[in-house]
Structure 1
Amino acid sequence: MTAPAATFRSPPRVAIEPALLPWCGFLAVTALCLLLKTAFPWLVTFPKEWTLPLAAGVNIVTDAVVTVVQPGFRALSAMLEAPMRGARLALVWLPWPAVMLAVAALALKSSGIRLAVFALLALTYILLAGYWPQSMSTLSLVLIAVPISTVLGFALGVLGYINPRLRPVLLGALDLMQTVPAFAYLIPLLLLFGFGPVVGLIASAIYATPPMVRNTMLGLDRVPAAISEAGLMSGCTRRQQFWHVEVPTALPQILVGFNQTTMAALSMVIVAAIIGGFEDIGWEVLSSMRKAEFGQSILSGLVIALLAILIDRLTIGFARERPAGPTPAMIWMTGRRLALFMIAAAGLAITIRFLWPDQTLLPSTGLRTQMGVVNQWLLGLVRDYAWFFDGVRNSVLYCLLLPLRIGISGAATPAIWGFALTLLANTAYATAVLLVSALLMRRLRWRPALAVLVAGILLYTGFLGFPWPAFILGAALLAWQVSGVRLALFAAVGFLLILLNGLWGPLVQSLYLCTLAVLLCLVIGGMLGIWAAHSERVSRILKPICDALQTVPQFVFLIPALMFFKVGEFTALIAIMLYAIVPPIRYVEHGLRHVRIDVVEAVEQMGATPAQTLFQVKLPLALPVVMLGLNQTIMAALSMLAIAALVGTRDLGQAVYVALGKADAGMGLIAGLSIAFLAILTDRLVQAAVARRTMDL
């Protein structure tokens, strides 16, 4: 009997995904650049002699254009200044009892008795604090800027709705208007309109227009086809159908745009104060911060916060219907009674001014004149607990900020960490990174392993020490695999232009600061969002806090950070986090609360623990919503860069602020457009990733 012939099988081939091959090339390029960076320092530090004089060219063009068109813009400035001063004089002339009566009536009509009580308390605080005239000056700027933004935004929104071909161009312009820091376009505005409050008005109108445009298009797009067809069948002309059918149907969404436009205009009051506003509450905040008068800073900052919350609640109450229906107070306050209250307020104002024409009726001494004791107490608090605040700041600075900026290789020195890296330590670090990557490759897929490997390299070299060719290549590869060739070209060209304009150093500073802020916001905000999703009490506590953080203007966040931690990058980090932490809280809670109940119940019936249900079911299903929260967090962090520049950062925001001080329109626009580029690129990447994730689900 013969033995059967032995069969030889070749070993199984390891399938390599095609998407992984470009990243292998990226890792090879990164390793080569790191090996050669000592011999070729330009791989890390781009030489100044290689930069392009684009900023100088922009200044030449700007000077030539400004010389020609400046007289016309100065005439427009004079035209706009008259209604601004008229509105300010009218609001300051109105006695405070009449204003309180009118605002209370509007609050009753908008949201009921609770908002009316809050409005009276908020206005009483403003009165007692001694900031009533300044608050009226601020409202005058808002009252002029909001109608301009509303009319312009509605017109542009209708244009984008009627002509879909213009929508991509319009959306691109809106992205620039919302992402370019206001400091960047203040420079050409100053050159055109001159120094004064009108520049703040124009800047506020520019910044506040995009929300109205987007909500107008969104509202008109969402008009049901059945309603439009009913209008046509009724014999309406195209104009009648638009104004009598489509606009009334879209009105709730348009009013939401009005609410967001109003809040955006109010958030610009301190920016307006920087470039020459009249005596308003923004100037009070700015001047008290400059003098380190923290008591006055808190008082005036709280005034802006209360005004923002009050205006937000008033406008959103008219824009949205209450889920539980109108309250009895709202039903009682009919349109006729509201008109009677307005007439009564006007009559009260005229009577008071007729009887006491020379009396301001304001408190002789406001709280702000008695803040000397509070200032001394706050300074003593900061001095007595300096060991704690300095310890927190130094711990974060030396353990997080510095390693991200200069890497472990730069931070691990006897002067900073108390020891230097040896060959054994470097080998151990590399081995640990490789082992974690290999484990992730085995347990999950190659993308998490690649992310850990790149993060390990970046943490070792730091953002400042990472080679720019590898960075640009990696960004282009990421954009290509997530969204396609067009976004990859956009990413590569954008980063190359930043590099060639000599802004790579500020760009890297911005990236590392925003990266750390976003990561901390995701961790802290995500944990709070998970807690709120599983606890109604926590959700009720966090909701007003998040509402306040979202409505407070950006500058106000600098006050507590500057008071306790002084000037520096850590102060900027705290301010950015305070502004950017709300989206992860809200989106994580919203995503977890809206996971399909039947899926959760099925998993629980299979014996899954609460932790398994959360991490293996709820969070994966809520990931598209959480990714949208990530997008908003990054947008908020980038928008705070120019504001954080006031407390001593060295990033793109500082470049914009320095350019404003030097009236360097070219550098200001280029640095501002660089921030806008980062925001738009991140937005497109996250949107594409969310779309792919949604299709997979």
Structure 2
Amino acid sequence: MKRTHTTFNAPALFRAAAMPALVLLCIGAGELSPAVESFPQSWMFPVSSLINSALGWLVPTILPITSFVSGITTVLLAALVGTLQYLPWPAVAATVVLISFKAGGMRLMAISVGAIAYIVLTGFWQQSMATLSLVVLAVPLSVLIGFLLGLGAFFLPRMRRALELVFDFMQTFPAFAYLLPLLLLFGFGPIAGLIATAIYAVPPMARCTLSGLTEVPEERREVAEMSGCTTWQRLVWVELPSARPMMALGFNQTTMAALSMVITASIIGGFDDVGWAVLSGLRSADLGKSLMAGLVIVMISVVIDRITGGILGSARPHNAGRLNAGWRAILLSSAAIMTLGAIMRYAQPAVVSGWNEGRGIVDFQGLNQVLLAFVARYSDVLEAIKNAVLYYLVLPLRVGLSGAVLPLTWGFSMTPGITAAYGALAVLLSARQILRGRPSAAAATLCLAVLIYTGLVAFPWPAAIALAMWSAWRAAGLRLALFTGLSLGFVLVTGLWVPFVKSLYLVVVAVVLCAFAGGLIGIIAARSDRFSAIIRPVNDALQTMPQFVFLIPALMFFKVGEFAGLIAISLYAVVPAIRYTEAGLRSVSANLLETATQIGCTPLQSTLLVQLPTARPALLLGLNQVIMSAITMLPVAATVGTAELGQQIYIALGKADAGLGVTAGIVFCLLAINLDRILRGVAERLRGAH
């Protein structure tokens, strides 16, 4: 089929030139008017003060309720921690191994034995039991609230969009932003950390419950109605059993979310758990201790993930009876082991106490020396990597090519001649898009060229809002464009525009690094089953590792600063790029690949010209998840020196300014939701085109 091209015509030229012309007009106006270059302070609105006033009224009103809840939860937590720490570790270990064998066979049992051995040998058994107690109490609360929210969204279709927006806010709202309100309500201690963990872990259960119920086949509902079932009977006997697999996934993901939150909760918890060990190690520059403690959380996460997955995955209606009979014996055996352990502790308290409180055999100071020696040996290589990323990626996005291109780093400067050549190249690339019948792509090319030249920080706010609204409109329609405009308007009136822009360019740089590194690894994994098998456990470890743990290698290799934060963000966000790239490439039809081979394509050509274009929807979804992960990591990265929205949250914590923290958290949510919706819209368009 012959490819047709669209010639230059007036409508296409207008659509390609309108937005770039508006952007250039705003830049020119910014040179003449300070109000266009930076948002005037007199136009700002005291949002944080209003939130503080609202909290000042709300906290005393509900404090009796929260005090009552805190008292009950304190008793439960103390009882659970006391029980788990009282029992000898061999008894708890034997119970876990027994359950692991029932849930996943010999392989899971071996994983559990290895995890328990690691925890005991590193001397973190007591802290692990405290962490496990937090999770055991937080997860049922999160599961219950998430189930009720998902059920409400299912039964109220008109409210579903609003509830999904609430889910988005809960999932993207930085935990640090609501730590201060929780401190006001529950006081400093582990209960505030427990509530923070429970809140953070709600969205996965809510989303999976809603998804499972909405995906129940309509035929089953019709059969239930024909049988005379009421709405309640249909829910209990038909819809909930059909949605059980998705709800099981929600339970699993809720548990993982709770475990990923334990270090953050330790900031306000003051609780001697593994999270506090990681945090205290970071504060005292004891990187060896932090790394070992962080890996303890990874071990706990992997074991719980496999056990819950095995139990819930095997809980099918057709074998529920056999499953219950088998688990009855397991539970009785576990109870007997625990009872025997309690008797041993009572009979030989000194011996058992020594077992549980052993310091382990790992020399953290020796590990620190090894790590420091490694960094010292390869300091030149690490410094070269740091300078390359900063000079050729971070600075151009922050201050633009006009400020970043210098003879010292690039070998030349942006003279008028080079600037003219840069503009001519942008126009030529735009004209090429017009010839292909893509006026919107042509406009995007010109706007991107202007943005890269000026930099995100110096880009005028009216141009930024217009460009964002235009992108949202082209991706998903007028409604999203209006929402994007209102979101950016809120950022402006709060006075957080500059931190917002700095957050945006950090996300962009991290996404570029993740897309390059993760995409390359994903391509190799898609072409090699052996490499895929090797990289899979690495991905699993990265996904279960708490966010603060990623700061350890970043600090170890690159010290405190913006680049260390950028590396931590990239490490945390790279896994979706790897997984979605591999999955997208592997999903390409074998017939299509065979056809490419028959017409003479090399393996590289087949990947670049056939697989990647065909897998674009999956790759774009992976990019979406990379962006969401990067935004989630921003507040954590602020602890090592990044100057963006996360830093505003830490300033709020230091000043006890809950209003500023909540306002910055809302801006985080708006950034994540808008980027998510725009990329979803583009993915839907690509899927429709395919």
TM-score scaled to structure 2, two decimals?
0.93
Q: Is the 8 A contact 1:498 1:674 kept in 2?
A: yes
- 2:91 aligns to what? 98
Paired residues for 1:357-506 under 5 Å = 357-358=349-350, 359-362=352-355, 366-367=359-360, 370-413=363-406, 420-442=413-435, 445-506=438-499
Question: Are 1:309 and 2:302 counterparts?
Answer: yes
**8 Å contact kept, 2:12–2:439:** no
| Of 185, 188, 191, the match for 1:195 | 188
TM-aligned CA deviation for residue 532 of structure 1:
1.3
**Aligned counterparts of 1:13 and 1:685: Cα–Cα separation in 2:** 27
Q: Structure 1, unaligned stretches of length 5 or more?
A: 1-11
Counterpart CA distance in 1 for 2:395 and 2:13 is 32
Task: Give a deviation string over 1:422-445, Cα, whole Å, max 9, x none.
Answer: 222322332333333334444673
For residue 31 of structure 2, give the secondary structure of its aligned residue in structure 1.
Answer: coil
* Structure 1 residue 643: Cα displacement: 0.8
Larger deviation: 432-441 or 208-217? 432-441
Which deviates more from structure 2 when the two are superposed, residues 410-419 or residues 577-586?
Answer: 410-419
Letter in 1 for 2:546: P
1:23, distance to aligned residue in structure 2 (A): 5.1
Say if 2:236 is the partner of 1:243: yes
Question: In the alignment, which residue of structure 2 is the partner of 1:344?
Answer: 336
Q: Is the 8 A contact 2:401 2:454 kept in 1?
A: yes
CA offsets 1:295-322 (integer angstroms, 9 cap, x no match) = 1111111111111111111112223359
Structure-to-structure mapping, 1:139-178, within 5 angstroms? 139-178=132-171
In 2: Cα distance, 1:66 partner to 1:421 partner: 56
**Post-superposition offset of 1:470:** 0.7
Aligned residue number for residue 7 of structure 1: none
Question: Structure 2 CA distance, aligned partners of 1:98 and 1:69?
Answer: 42
2: distance between equivalents of 1:333 and 1:108? 15
C-alpha distance in 2 between matches for 1:377 and 1:127: 22
SS of match in other structure, 1:366: coil
Match of 1:37 among 30, 35, 46: 30
Residue pair 1:43, 1:468 contacting (<8 A) in 2 also: yes
Q: Is the 8 A contact 1:20 1:446 kept in 2?
A: yes
Distance 2:13 2:287 in 1: 54
Partner of 1:136 in structure 2? 129
C-alpha distance 322-517 of structure 1, shift in aligned 2 (>3 A): farther
Alpha-carbon shift at residue 201 of structure 1 (Å): 0.9
Alignment partner, residue 255 of structure 1: 248
SS in 1 for 2:130: helix
CA offset at residue 623 of structure 1?
1.4
Change (3 A) 1:639 1:203: same
Q: Is the 8 A contact 2:125 2:357 kept in 1?
A: no
| Corresponding residue number in structure 2 for 1:6 | none
**In the alignment, what sits opposite 2:637?**
644
Q: Distance in 2 between matches of 1:17 and 1:583?
A: 42
What is the distance in 1 between the residues matched to 2:354 and 2:213?
Answer: 47
Q: In structure 2, list runs of 5 or more residues that go unmatched.
A: none
- SS of the residue corresponding to residue 311 of structure 2 reads helix
8 Å CA contact retained: 1:109, 1:333? no
C-alpha distance in structure 1 between counterparts of 2:536 and 2:324, whole Å:
28
Q: 1:234 to 1:558 in 2, by over 3 A?
A: same
**Contact kept? 2:180, 2:653, Cα under 8 Å:** yes
Alignment match, 1:3? none
Q: Distance in 2 between matches of 1:565 and 1:387?
A: 11
Counterpart of 2:76 in structure 1 is 83
1:353 maps to: 345
RMSD of equivalent CA atoms: 2.6
- Counterpart residue number, 2:685: 692
Per-residue deviation, 1:418: 6.6
Matched-pair contact (CA < 8 Å) for 1:506–1:650 = yes
Question: Deviation per CA, 1:133-162, whole angstroms, max 9, x where unpaired?
Answer: 011101111010001011111122222222
- Which amino acid counterpart does residue 582 of structure 2 have in structure 1? E
User: Which letter does structure 2 place at the counterpart of 1:353?
Assistant: R
Report deviation, 1:663: 1.7
Contact 1:108 1:333 survives alignment (8 Å): no
Q: Distance in 2 between matches of 1:593 and 1:415?
A: 45
Cα 1:188–1:16 shift into 2, 3 Å = farther
Identity of aligned residues (%): 46
One-letter amino acid matched to 1:343: A
Which residue of the other structure, out of 501, 512, 525, is the alignment partner of 1:532? 525
Q: Give the distance between the partners of 1:497 and 1:588, measured in 2 at CA.
A: 35
Q: Comparing 357-366 with 640-649, which one deviates more in the overlay? A: 357-366
* CA distance in 1: counterparts of 2:677 and 2:6, whole angstroms: 37
Go from structure 1 to structure 2 and tell me whether the alpha carbon gap of 1:305 and 1:649 turns closer, same or farther (over 3 Å shift): same
Q: CA deviation at 1:595?
A: 1.8
Amino acid at match of 1:135: S
- Find out whether 1:680 has 2:673 as its counterpart: yes
Partners of 1:333 and 1:562 in 2: CA distance: 51
Bigger proportion of residues as helix: 2
Flag the 1:92–1:221 CA change in 2: closer, same or farther, 3 A: same
Deviation at residue 284 of structure 1 after TM alignment:
0.5
Closer/same/farther in 2, CA of residues 368 and 440 from structure 1, 3 Å limit? farther
Shift of 1:217: 1.5
Contact 1:149 1:208 in 2 (8 A): yes
